[in-house]
Amino acid sequence: MKLPLPKLIPEWRQCLRFDSVRVALLLALLSAVQAEVLPIVAPVFPPQVWPWVTGGLALAIALLRLRQQQLPPAQTDTHPRPGDPHNPIDP
């Protein structure tokens, strides 16, 4: 059984508009600076909480992707369909 390939967006720079991509970038940034940030925020933010924060961000990524997939096609589709009355190109 073959799984369908995901529909790619036409322009890769548009991915920065997706909330899940933004949260994934935040998670990557936090992972990159973790060693420098933890000692600074340790009095307010104990190191034992760090896995919960990163886990929460990972969960947020998954939920934001699911939310994006549940939107009606009119809100997620960036390609106008021929014959669509809302298509400004097609009379």
SS3 state of residue 24: helix
Q: CA angle at residue 12 from 69 to 84, to 5 degrees? A: 55
- For the residues 40-66, what does the mean pLDDT come to? 85
Give the chain's end-to-end CA distance (angstroms, integer).
Answer: 41
Tell me the mean pLDDT in the region 21-27: 90
Residue 7 lies in a domain: no
Residue count of the chain, please give it.
91
Per-residue pLDDT of 26-46, as tens digits, reads: 989 988 888 888 888 888 878
When divided into structural domains, the chain yields a total of 1
Please check whether residue 63 is in contact with residue 57, taking contact to mean a CB–CB distance below 8 angstroms: no
- Distance, in Å, from the CA atom of 22 to the CA atom of 89, rounded to the nearest integer, reads 31
Whether residue 40 lies inside any domain: the answer is: yes
In this prediction, residue 54 has a pLDDT band, given cuts at 50, 70 and 90, of: confident
For residue 64, is it within any domain?
yes
Asked if the structure places residue 79 within a domain, the reply is: no
Domain assignment of residue 62, yes or no: yes
In a domain, 30, yes or no: yes
> Residue 73 has what pLDDT?
55
pTM listed for this prediction: 0.58
Find which of 35-39, 52-56, 66-70 is predicted with most confidence, using mean pLDDT. 52-56
Question: Which structural domain, as residue segments, surrounds residue 57?
Answer: 15-70
